[in-house]
Amino acid sequence: MTRTTPPRPYDLLALFPELAAHGRPAVRLHPRRGEPGVKDGSIGGPLLWPADEAWPTCGLEHEDLSDEPYAYVLAWRDYLDDRDRREGEGGLDWGVERRRADELEARFTAEDDGAPPPLIPLAQLYYRDVPHLPWADRYDLLQVLWCPRDHPDIETPYNPALQLRWRRTEQVGPVLADPPVPLVCNGNYVPRQCVLHPETVTEYPLTADLPADLAEAIRAWSEQIGDGTAYHWGTSSAPGMKTTGYGGTWGIIDPYPIRCECGERQLPLFTTATGEFDGGTTSWRPVEEAGTEWEFADPVDIVIGRGYTLQLYYCPASEDHPNRTEMF
């Protein structure tokens, strides 16, 4: 089923025709719960991973305050799904449910054994489904993995640490059937398995990245209509998981250019968001899901910081240059 972004509350190009020169395609991934296979694009699904290629691990330092057994995180989600189903079929005895939850927690114990933990899949993006990914002449598949723990010493501290793999699918050969999983994790960083419903939209930059006169005109218009979120939240930048585009509205720190060590300005590649939309961005809910209230607001079920966005950037000069991240 396709997912379609509703018309924006304001027609930016009618108001500011000069914005057209600054538009950039972004692909809203619209992840929804499902059972993807290795040949499907997915969030949190199995990867088309060569059987003869070592599965990546994380050798960085970890903060363990939020760690819990990985197997428990999966079992707890299964329990919640089953509880929701049973609640829909009739009333629940919450005393019984508390005992079930306590018994489930007591079944799982796991401690960090000190070995570099395996990464887990975050996203599998086939170029046939997700246009505008870089280096389409050389690759047709991008895989994004991360270590689902907090890392105090990375560039964007107390977040997962990411790794990428760019591939040509015809070169993969036999596929790894049973990838390793970590012993412990931060449950906020374990995505639910979702299939993708990609949709290309046009995004526009932050006013900080626009010519001064155009930025001032947009700010004056926002003041005139009495809506300070009309440009950034309402029209120029889509919420949720997406690729390329411009990204999002910076809310923790002031925006700044993300630059590679080579001096090139890096570009957004993959945006990991806490939920598909929230109370301030409900106008972005797909038209096919109108009237569903909050049912599809958070299908992936991951949390970045206190409900923020983590954006991964790439260097257009080379895929071999280090990727960078920022949280906002």
Q: What is the pLDDT of residue 253?
A: 83
Q: What is the pLDDT of residue 139?
A: 98
What's at 319, amino acid-wise?
A: E
**Same domain as 133, residue 220:** no
**Same domain as 276, residue 175:** no
Listed residues 141, 173, 194: the one ending a domain: 194
**Same domain as 323, residue 204:** yes
Name the token pair of 27.
């692909």
Residue span of the structural domain in which 166 resides: 33-194
**Same domain as 207, residue 130:** no
Which residue, among 132, 159, 157, has the nearest Cα to 146 in the 3D structure? 159
Q: What is the pLDDT of residue 243?
A: 98
**Same domain as 250, residue 135:** no
**Same domain as 118, residue 217:** no
Rounded Cα gap, residues 323 and 301, in angstroms: 25
Q: Beta strands 161-167 and 24-28: pairing type?
A: unpaired
**Same domain as 290, residue 181:** no
Q: What is the pLDDT of residue 289?
A: 96
Name the token pair of 98.
């508390």
Listed residues 159, 194, 229: the one ending a domain: 194
Q: Which residues contact 11 (CB under 8 A, 6 or more apart)?
A: none
CB 18 within 8 A of CB 144: no
Q: What is the pLDDT of residue 180?
A: 98
**Same domain as 17, residue 161:** no
Listed residues 165, 194, 223: the one ending a domain: 194
- Give 10-residue mean pLDDT values along the chain (328 residues): 94 97 98 98 98 98 95 95 90 90 88 92 98 98 98 96 98 97 97 98 95 97 95 94 90 88 97 93 95 94 95 97 96
Rounded Cα gap, residues 144 and 149, in angstroms: 15
**Same domain as 170, residue 285:** no
**Same domain as 55, residue 11:** no
- pTM summary value: 0.95
**Same domain as 245, residue 171:** no
**Same domain as 272, residue 213:** yes
How many domains, the chain?
2
